[in-house]
Structure 1
Amino acid sequence: MQKLMRRYIGIVDALNYRIGRIVMYGIFVMMAILLWSSVSKTFFSPSLWTLEVAQFAMVAYYMLGGPYSIQMGSNVRMDLLYGEWSDHRKAQIDAMTILFLIVYLVFLLWGGWESLMYSFSYGGERSSSVWRPYLWPIKSIMVLGIFLMLLQAISEFFKDILRLQGHDMGEKI
């Protein structure tokens, strides 16, 4: 079982690490979109698409970068008590609390999938803005991001289980 958990951790962590490193540069895409928005409003006629494309880019940035953030330990944590606990106690608490995250992500994935299927069955759901882009591309990215976050949460759960069993899984921040 430990071998299977380690293999799962290796595959999921490698996948989310690569995706996270690529998506990390999405900030420059957002900056370019918002720069174009400012330039076009100042010197040309305002673009109708810049606000929504910037919002879509931000959603993709956060949803696809979230698993990488969890993997790197960059998530926000209340350190009031946590910082003083032993590594074993931290692993115990993390193993319990990550179960809540996994349940939440399962429901979120289910809702996201239903919304995505609605978008397809509706005949191409569109935004209500003037530009009216299709919504299925961003909903697909959201579902993918939630799925990757679920995989990463399970990976973190397995790491905590292995830590509780006395295996060195590297320092968790």
Structure 2
Amino acid sequence: MSHALRLIDWLTRIAGYVAAAGILLMIGVILYEIASRYFFNAPTVWAYDISYMLNGSVIMLAGALAMKADQHVVIDILSQLFRNRTRRMIDAAVYIALLLPALGFISLVAWSQFWTAVLQGTVETVSPWRPVLWPFRLMIALGLSILWLQILAKTLASALRPLGAPSEPAGGR
């Protein structure tokens, strides 16, 4: 089991590295567009499409890393009243009953949309550049799937922890 958890953590780190590279690439694309537009009076037809696809990819790929680091937004007004053990049990119940099934379904839909885009050669129809959409849809499907795996890993790691062991340092999340 620990090998599977380490593999999921490795995938999460790789997705985080790819997201970081995507941010740098997006900055480069935007700087190129600015220089091209304002210094050479020659705007690109592709910069907007590349930047929104990179932005969406970065958000999707970084989701698992945010989950691993407990950086997602949570409303924990009530959960602060509970002991760590009770809070862990509530988190596990929410993950198992809500997040894993919902995100699993959304991931399957994303993989279906990716595969459809590959088979049909789907292009962005509102763009004059008309880029193919399958790379963007692949990043969405990968990001959602790795997030699903990270939630599963978090749930399993919590379940494997002895019930009396604290899940976090005193003082909360």
TM-score interval w.r.t. the shorter chain?
0.7 to 0.9
Unaligned runs of 5+ in 2: none
What is the alpha-carbon distance in structure 1 between the residues aligned to residue 34 and residue 8 of structure 2?
39
Change (3 A) 1:117 1:14: closer
Three-state SS of the structure 2 residue aligned to 1:79 is: coil
String of CA shifts for 1:29-84, please: whole Å, max 9, x gaps.
22222222222221221111111100111111111111011001111110212233
CA distance in 1, matches of 2:86, 2:66: 22
- Residue 48 of structure 1: SS of its match in structure 2? coil
5+ long unaligned stretches in structure 1: none
Read off the aligned partner of 1:28 and give its amino acid letter: L
Moved more, 101-110 or 31-40: 31-40
- Structure 1 residues 12-51: aligned runs within 5 Å: 12-43=8-39, 44-51=41-48
SS across alignment from 1:80: coil
Aligned-pair CA distance for 1:90: 1.3
Q: Secondary structure at the match of 1:130?
A: coil
Q: Aligned in 2, Cα 1:20/1:111: closer, same or farther, shift over 3 Å?
A: same
> TM (normalized to structure 2)?
0.87
TM-aligned CA distance change 1:14 to 1:167, over 3 Å: farther
Moved more, 158-167 or 81-90: 158-167
Instruction: Indicate the residue corresponding to 2:128 in structure 1.
Output: 130
- Counterparts in 2 of 1:10 and 1:165: CA distance versus 1, 3 Å: farther
Identity of aligned residues (%): 23
The answer to whether the Cα contact below 8 Å between 2:85 and 2:166 also exists between their aligned partners in 1 is no
Is 1:64 matched with 2:76? no
- Whether the aligned pair in 2 keeps the contact of 1:40 and 1:47 (CA below 8 Å) is yes
Q: CA offsets, 1:88-124, max 9 Å, x none?
A: 01101110111211111111111112211211221x1
What is the RMSD of the two structures over their aligned residues, measured on CA atoms?
A: 2.0
Shift in Å, 1:169: 5.7
Cα distance in 1 for partners of 2:164, 2:140 equals 36
